[in-house]
Amino acid sequence: MKFCSSCGHAIEKLVPADDNRTRSVCTECQTIHYENPRLILGTLSTWQDQILLCRRAIAPRSGFWTLPAGFMEIGESTEAGARRETLEEAGAEVEIHDLFAVFDIPHVEQVHLFFRAAMTSPHLAPGVESLEARLFKPDDIPWDELAFESVRQALRLHLEDRSMGTSRLHRMQLPKMDW
């Protein structure tokens, strides 16, 4: 941010009075512009024993496989956003079960939330952000073609839970990856 969205004047990076972090502050009207992490919402959706993945048609990581996920929109709940992203990217209708994983990714200013979900049918109709959507048996997951570390970890944790017959909430901070 270079200019104030309230008055249009220049922004300075400084620690405002009564704060402890560097913020973007307007040099004219003194408006503090808070920049906070973005929420990425998605699902780990299954149909019988298969897992839904989408091949990305957009940057970053175009052509690589991912779980259906995207940015939370103003006015929606996390669950509604995850359901919307799954419909937009894969054309899949899902029933959300529970929150499955929370990944803190500070270096890209994001938090990824994945919900466990069951597809209501095997029908897929990829949207404009996906080259294709497919159901994979666990042994067929394209591990070397996954787009993001959060996707890799979510799949690994899902398969681990499944093998142990558990259903846990997972939380972790992910390191910066050199893709």
- What global pTM score does this model have? 0.89
Domains and CATH numbers, the chain: 1-35 (2.20.70.10), 38-173 (3.90.79.10)
Segment 91-118, tens digit of pLDDT = 999 999 999 999 999 999 999 999 999 9
Confidence of residue 179 (pLDDT cuts 50, 70, 90): low
CB-based contacts of 131, cutoff 8 Å, min separation 6: 55, 56, 57, 63
E-assigned strand segments in the chain: 11-14, 23-26, 32-33, 38-47, 50-56, 65-66, 69-71, 94-105, 110-119, 130-136, 170-173
